[in-house]
Chains A and B, each alone.
Chain A
């Protein structure tokens, strides 16, 4: 009798646990309440559920919906923008592999939106191992946004992928942007800065290799 009672309690606790997980997983996004109309919010909640189930980050989707709401975009345009971002996140996730982080997938989606190909992301993943590619992919998107053609920006980011640390990527982007602001053509600015940055990355990698303790 006591065994039966304890079994009942165990089953009740397990059911409660699963129920709580279901509520958390399929709950409404509270930040969208009052910011978009109820029918649009319901559609976005479904998209968020779908993205969550696929292992995609949902925060960029909420951000995009809130951006549209703040800019007073019609509901159908907000939905279209969120759906497009879901597709880009999914493509980036597939290209980067299931072990990629949410930040990497988000940055990868930005790079895809800028014009990089999924195969470029896969190459970047391979070359950057085991480091994060978040900043590298974000810099690629930034360079394209600054006016550098997507293909040229992709080649430059891949050329630095093996040895450049994140700080060097950011300095490279800053230098190119500064040159563009001073009047240089975007492609010329990138071509001017890339050799020096690559040399600095190689030197840094060599020095780090020399500092590593050798085996006796």
Chain B
């Protein structure tokens, strides 16, 4: 039994002492692989490559809960910091234009060269809503779609004379001292 064991050891030892034969082309193949590997670039290209490269992402249940909690805190925090203003979005404080009504404004201004309708609905812009002469008797008219709500307005004759609408309630104007009117538009 000891002789058999010695023989096995002898054969293994002899096998291990033999020189390892390496393929002569191995070096060339390794160098070719290295050259083919993309060089590590820096700067914008590196960032773009990093962003485009897919990576496995490991999320533990605890980590997932932490991310979800962070998102909740972000959403709630942003709503508290920047609360939405009722009616301030898109400047539609007085109502939605989807249920607007068409209102006709009429004023008699004899010998006027131009008449403009100005009010809350057109940013009080002189050039936004010029009125049209209906006939030659000094009647001027314009129709405007208005969303439900209450608007202050006035007529401006020849760019300098302010007139209230005689057929509408007067606007209480203790602030600026010029005549004006109010129109209330109902919903559909």
Residues of A within 8 A of B (CB): 2-3, 6, 10, 14, 17-18, 21-22, 24-25, 31, 51-53, 55-60, 63-64, 66-71, 73, 77, 80-81, 84, 100-103, 105-107, 110, 113-114, 132, 134-135, 138-139, 141-142, 145-146, 166-167, 169-170, 173, 177, 181
Whether the pair A68, B93 counts as a contact (CB closer than 8 A) is no
Whether the pair A70, B124 counts as a contact (CB closer than 8 A) is yes
| A161 to B148 CA separation, bound complex (whole angstroms) | 18
Whether the pair A69, B124 counts as a contact (CB closer than 8 A) is yes
Minimum Cβ distance to chain B for residue A17 (Å): 7
- Which secondary structure characterizes the binding site on chain A? helix
| A18-B187 contact in complex given A10-B67, A141-B182, C-beta closer than 8 Å | no
Whether the pair B78, A71 counts as a contact (CB closer than 8 A) is no
> In this complex, which of A105, A113, A114, A141 has the most chain B Cβ atoms within 10 angstroms of its Cβ?
A141
Q: What residues on B are CB-neighbors of A57 within 8 Å? A: 85-88, 93
Q: How large, as a class, is the contact surface on chain B?
A: 35 or more
Interface residues of B in 122-145 (CB under 8 A from A): 123-126
Known: A67-B124, A106-B150, A146-B169. 16 other contacts (CB 8 A): A10-B67, A14-B70, A18-B74, A21-B82, A25-B82, A31-B123, A51-B85, A57-B93, A70-B124, A77-B175, A80-B175, A81-B175, A102-B87, A103-B93, A141-B182, A142-B184
Whether the pair B86, A101 counts as a contact (CB closer than 8 A) is yes
Considering only CB atoms, which chain A residue lies closest to B56 in the complex?
A2
| A166 to B56 CA separation, bound complex (whole angstroms) | 61
Q: What residues on B are CB-neighbors of A77 within 8 Å? A: 175-176
Q: Can you show 21 pairs from A to B with CB atoms below 8 A apart?
A: A6-B57, A10-B70, A14-B70, A18-B81, A21-B82, A51-B85, A52-B88, A55-B85, A58-B85, A58-B88, A59-B93, A63-B123, A64-B175, A71-B177, A71-B178, A103-B148, A106-B87, A106-B150, A139-B184, A170-B186, A173-B184
Whether the pair A55, B83 counts as a contact (CB closer than 8 A) is yes
Whether the pair B184, A21 counts as a contact (CB closer than 8 A) is no
Query: Which of A21, A59, A114 is close to B91, meaning CB atoms less than 8 Å apart?
Result: A59
Does any Cβ of A come within 8 Å of B55's Cβ?
A: yes
Interface residues of B in 29-71 (CB under 8 A from A): 55-58, 63, 67, 70
- Which secondary structure characterizes the binding site on chain B? loop
Considering only CB atoms, which chain B residue lies closest to A141 in the complex?
B150
Which 8 A/B pairs are nearest by Cβ-Cβ distance? A102-B87, A59-B93, A102-B86, A81-B175, A145-B169, A70-B124, A138-B150, A25-B82
| A121 to B185 CA separation, bound complex (whole angstroms) | 20
Minimum Cβ distance to chain A for residue B176 (Å): 4
> In this complex, which of A6, A58, A59 has the most chain B Cβ atoms within 10 angstroms of its Cβ?
A59
Minimum Cβ distance to chain A for residue B80 (Å): 10
| A66 to B57 CA separation, bound complex (whole angstroms) | 55
Whether the pair A84, B175 counts as a contact (CB closer than 8 A) is yes
Query: Which of A64, A134, A139 is close to B149, meaning CB atoms less than 8 Å apart?
Result: A134
Q: What residues on B are CB-neighbors of A58 within 8 Å? A: 85, 88, 93
| A106 to B91 CA separation, bound complex (whole angstroms) | 13
| A4 to B5 CA separation, bound complex (whole angstroms) | 57
| A14 to B74 CA separation, bound complex (whole angstroms) | 7
Does any Cβ of A come within 8 Å of B107's Cβ?
A: no
